[in-house]
Amino acid sequence: MLQDKNTELTPISKYGEFGLIKHLTENFGFANASTELSIGDDCAVIDAQGKKLVVTTDVLAEGVHFNLGYVPLKHLGYKAVVVNLSDIAAMNATPTQILVSLAVSNRFPVEALEEIYEGIALACKRYNVDLVGGDTTSSTSGLVMSITAMGLEDSDKIVKRSTAKVNDLLVVTGDLGGAYLGLQILEREHSVYLANPNMQPEMEGYDYILERQLKPEARTDIKKTLEELGVKPTSMIDISDGLSSEILHLSDQSKVGFRLYEDKIPMDSLTISTAEELNLNPVMCALNGGEDFELLFTISPEDFEKIRNHPDFSIIGHTVDLEQGNFLVARGSNELIALNAQGWDAFLNK
């Protein structure tokens, strides 16, 4: 995965903590005028330029959030950045800087960390963000990554979870469930490999859902699209833990209920066929799978005509009074099925 097995790998001890940071980050440049001071000093300096600074952070732990038996290190670095930028996009803000901290055990050579930082660099370039600092330390339990992302936006453009109103429309970008099905294929093939290392993995034909899991993208493009359409969401969240969980988050913060229509949930044909192959309900995969990193938001009913035929968006439901609760409207029968938070929870999903 790193290099030819006969190539001698470099122990981290050769560089030491500060030398390692310098080595891994020496090729990172600046893309944002708001970055005044970066790696090498006690703190980074960010000029907010009269805007609001939004900040988010995520920790990814080996064995909890990722399995290095099938997750390439370069993809891991890329995805670690994307999951944070998705949170910035969910605030309707523009991501500008990141901080990266790593805790690594001595089984990781310098070359392994270089691969992670290659993925980080690709994400920085793709999303026009600057790496401005972080930390490294040792670990006795594998690899742990913590990424903090920052973004800037005018105060009146920021969108919160707490501002949806009754009769708003519920909208989602892209399609759902693919990342979860990609994970199921990776887990299946990894189990086969552990049972018989001579067996070749059967990955052909699953490209789309594998990419949704291994190399997701943050929907930072949606902000511009909505501005061009003249639409400002009344509330917004990204889908990291599953559609059902995110709807319940919006409900809790905005004090409204939701009606979600089963036949309106967008799913790719490969997601549906793979779910059926694995004897899974594709709708349940979309509701509870998570890691799609699409945006879920509400809009005023007056904006319906502006987005109803747009290829990036699906209108999947609407808000109701909080007392009416949160329900899935079943396809065909109109039966109401209570929405439950069965998505990812790091303290329960082990």
For the chain, the domains span 12-157, 169-338
User: Rounded distance, CA 113 to CA 121, Å?
Assistant: 12
Give the pLDDT score at 341. 80
Q: Which residue has the tokens 């949606």?
A: 222
pTM for the full model? 0.91
**On the CB side of 251, how many CA atoms lie within 13 Å of its CA?**
24
Phi then psi for 53, rounded to 5 degrees?
-95, 125
DSSP 307-350: HTT-TTEEEEEEEEEGGG-EEEE-TTT--EEE----S--TTT--
Annotated binding site: 42, 56-58, 65, 87, 117, 134-135, 161, 238, 240-241, 291, 344
Q: Compute how many other C-beta atoms are within 10 angstroms of the C-beta atom of residue 305.
A: 8
Question: Residue written as tokens 């973004």?
Answer: 151
The topology (CATH level 3) of 169-338 is: Phosphoribosyl-aminoimidazole Synthetase; Chain A, domain 2 (3.90.650)
Residue stretches of the annotated binding site for substrate:
65, 291, 344
In this chain, the answer to whether the domains covering 12-157 and 169-338 adopt an identical fold is no
- Which residues are known binding-site members for ATP? 117, 134-135, 161, 240
Please write the tens of the pLDDT for every residue from 134-152.
999 999 888 999 999 999 9
pLDDT at res. 122: 98
Residues of the chain with pLDDT under 50: 1, 344, 346-348, 350
Q: What is the pLDDT of residue 347?
A: 40
Write out the binding residues for Mg(2+).
Answer: 42, 56-58, 87, 135, 238, 241
Question: What pLDDT was estimated at residue 4?
Answer: 57
The per-residue pLDDT for 348 is 47
CATH of 12-157, one of 3.30.413.10, 3.40.50.280, 3.30.70.20, 3.30.1330.10: 3.30.1330.10
d(CA 83, CA 94): 14
Nearest to 143 by CA among 196, 55, 80, 228: 80
**What is the percent of the chain with per-residue pLDDT over 70, rounded to a whole number?**
96
